[in-house]
Each structure stands twice: as structure tokens, then as C-alpha cells.
Amino acid sequence: MDYFPIFLDLRGAPCLVVGGGEVALRKVRLLLAAGARLTVVAPDVVPELAALVEEGACAHLCQPFADALVSGQRLVVAATNLREVNHTVSEAAQTAGIPVNVVDDPALSTYITPAIIDRSPLVIAVSTGGGVPVLARLVRARLESLIPAGFGRLARFAARFRDVVKARFADVEARRMFWESVLEGPLAEDVMAGNEQRAETAFLERLASASDRPEGAVYLVGAGPGNPDLLTFRALRLMQQSDVVLYDRLVAPELLELVRRDAERIDVGKARAKHTLPQEDINALMVRLAQEGKRVLRLKGGDPFTFGRGGEEIETLAAHRIPFEVVPGITSASGAAAYAGIPLTHRDHAQSVVFVTGHRKDGVLDLDWPALTRPGQTVVVYMGLAMAAELCEAFVTHGKPATTPAAVVEWATTERQRTVTGTLATLPGLIARHGVASPALIIVGEVVGLAEKLAWYRPAADDA
């Protein structure tokens, strides 16, 4: 984080803008909207700025900048088209310990003016650290279209009842859950539509009947193959609502950054031959946390029901009468294949696809080899990297030609993705030579031969 985001209360605070052009005018408007007591320093000002001075909205000193002018100011903005003047303003403000922004010059600034979405009292600020202001404005434009104007009315409505709700719920979690139920339902829609009287009646009825003890629940959420952009909307919403997060080692760190900041995070990830928590303990932990009234997010890489043990976990939850919800995710096989340019099915090459795991059972690869070696199909092997040599040998032993195309996709869909392609005969050596590590999927079938032509996602140089 290059800049620490804060919101300043500038109501009645003395602020200084140096410059009298259109750029300075934009800053003046923002500071006046925040209630600042504003002085503009410039030999000349544009007509609209002169009109604001005439109206008494701000003061104007018709003179060049002098260091003494920063004295007593809460905030200083340099908005001239002369860098030497801007540099002088910046030095004077920083010497006096006053935050200063030099427009379009982050090197001379101690703070950045963000792009602003104003739904007062709800205010959202977007910044690129001054590096790409146009991008910040593009993000702001998107948010403007997504956030209804009525959110400001909703924020004012909720603020009216803040103290009443705080007195009603001694438990912080119960209070937060109550607010979330209010702010995301029909009651909130009434407020934003202007039906505040009906909303107030419904609010007070709900407050009177609300339980002091929050009801726990478990959400099994598929985090997808790794790229945060591939999350579902439902997954993201539950990630922001949950009190506790139990996550696997295959969940990318970037995804965990999207979880509610104050949620407790527990790593229950299981690696080959090294279990952070046995599955039975994970099941018991989910039950205990839910019985304590917590909303538990069970975050899994890929999809919970595709080699994710989701079925085992919800069996336990159902046996203990714990409310639960399952949110599917893009399974790792689909993500890896799509981002590697390998279609899992293709009219000319594969009419079916099979997902299997590459784990040993009692020391041997106990797989249905006659089914896996049928022609015209694609086989995706989960958790098979450590057994790659044995897997490829077994495919050939059971009838697959050694020249059958095969690939391994490492860290699929992320910036670390690598795709290594070869054949059943060459893939184990390629994996060793390129140091491919988990998480990775192996794909076997004629469709792998299309990878070179169809590959579209190249975050780094792929190995082949």
C-alpha cells in the first residue's frame, strides 16, 4: 500500500489553494463541498472562480505565492502550471508539517486526491497513487453506475438508529448481523425508494423481535482455480459477511484479501503427506464454530464438490442440524484447460472428459485403466504431480500410445501460470526439468495438441 487512505474532516478548516486556473477551480469545488474555509492565492483567476469569490464562498489573495501563506493551514493544494512554483509550495508546506497535494505530480505530494463517488454520508474514494489518474476515473465511472443514488438516503436512515441498535444488542456480532439483514433486504429497498415511513415501521418491528444470539451457519464456497476475477458474485458476498474463514492451501493469497478484514482466518490446508488438520477435525471445527453463532466460510480451491470433500463436510453439518449453503466454483480442471488453450472436449478429438485423482491406494495406483484409456476422450488428473512418472507409464502399459499428447498446468489462471506440453513418454522428464510444482493438473488426450494454436493466456513465457 503506497498511500494510507483516510477521510479528513475539513468543515470550517482553513485550506489554501495556489493557482487560479481550471485545475485549481476543480480542487476549489471539492474543498468547498467538504466545508473547508478556503483561500485562493493567484495573480489571476478564471471567471467561475472569480464568481465564487464574489459570492463569498472563498477568499482570494491577488498575489504570487509566499512561504508564510501556509502558516495555520490544515491542507495545501498547488495547482499552477509552473513546476518551480509548485515545488516551492510543496517545500513550504512540508517544512511546516502540512499535508500538500501538487496536482499531477505525486513526487511533490504528501497526499493524493482520489476520484470520489459521493453518496453522502457514504463516500467512496479511488486512487492509483497518482500514477494513472485516468484509471481511477474509469473505476469511479463503473462504481457510479453500480451504486444507487439512494445509498446516501440509506446511510442517513441507518445513522438515525445507530444508538438504538447498539443499546439493543450488547453482542457485537449479533449487532452486525442485524444490520446486514436490514441493509440487504426489502427494508433497504423501501428506504432507497423514498418509502421511509414504511421502512421505519418494519425496522422497529424487526428490532423488537430480533434474537440476541446470532444463528450460526456454514457456507461451502468454491474459490475457483486461483484468479480472483473468476469468483462468483455469491461467493464474494459471503466472503464479506462471514465471521470465520477456514481455507485450504490451494486458495490463492489474493483471494484471501477479499475476505472481510476483521474475520478470523484459520488455515486448515492439506498437502500431500502433511495435513494441517485431519478432515474429521475440520468437520468438528465447523460444527463447533457454527454452534457458537458464527457464520463460517469454508473456502475451497476449485469447486467444493469436485474432489473437494464437500459432500463429507455437509453430511456432518446435516447430522448436527447446522444450516449450510454450497456455492459452486469454477473447477480447477475447467480453469486450467481454458487458460491453457486446451478444450476438454472437441468434435474432432474428444467426445468425453474424465476427472480422476492421482493418489495411491494401498501403495498402488488403483484406477479404472480400461475406462481411462478409451479413445476419443480427455483425462484430467487432479493431485497427480508426484505420481506423474507412474501415471504416464500406466497409461502406456494399459494401451495408450506413448505419443499421446499430455500437459501439466501449474498455478492455472494466475500470473504464475505455466503450461508444459509433451507426450506420455516425455512429460515426466519435462516436469522434472522445468521444476513444475504443486498446485498443478495433468491433462492427457489429443486435445492437448491444440494448446500451441489456441493458447491465449501468457502471463509469462510458457515452457514446452
Is 281 annotated to bind a ligand? Reply is no
Sequence-ordered alpha helix ranges (H) in 172-309: 172-183, 186-192, 196-209, 233-241, 253-256, 279-291
Decide: 307 and 355 in contact? Cβ < 8 Å.
Answer: yes
Decide: 69 and 61 in contact? Cβ < 8 Å.
Answer: yes
Is 205 annotated to bind a ligand? Reply is no
Is 72 annotated to bind a ligand? Reply is no
Asked about 166 being catalytic, the answer comes back as: no
SS3 140: helix
Closest CA to 267 of 257, 258, 256: 256
CA dist., res. 32 & res. 196, Å (int): 30
Per the listing, cell 467426445 goes with 351
Q: Which residues pair with 407 in a beta bridge?
A: 421, 443
Q: What is each CA distance from 163 to 5, 156, 159, 209, in whole angstroms?
A: 27, 13, 8, 17
The grid coordinates listed for 295 are 457464520
Q: Which of 248, 300, 400, 462 is catalytic?
A: 248
Is 224 annotated to bind a ligand? Reply is no
Is 435 annotated to bind a ligand? Reply is no
Is 301 annotated to bind a ligand? Reply is yes
Is 239 annotated to bind a ligand? Reply is no
Is 43 annotated to bind a ligand? Reply is yes
The grid coordinates listed for 70 are 501556509
DSSP, res 463:
P
Asked about 270 being catalytic, the answer comes back as: yes
SS3 136: helix
Decide: 75 and 99 in contact? Cβ < 8 Å.
Answer: yes
Binding residues for NAD(+): 22-23, 43-44
Binding residues: 22-23, 43-44, 225, 301-303, 383, 412
Catalytic residue positions, numbered: 248, 270
- Write out the binding residues for S-adenosyl-L-methionine: 225, 301-303, 383, 412
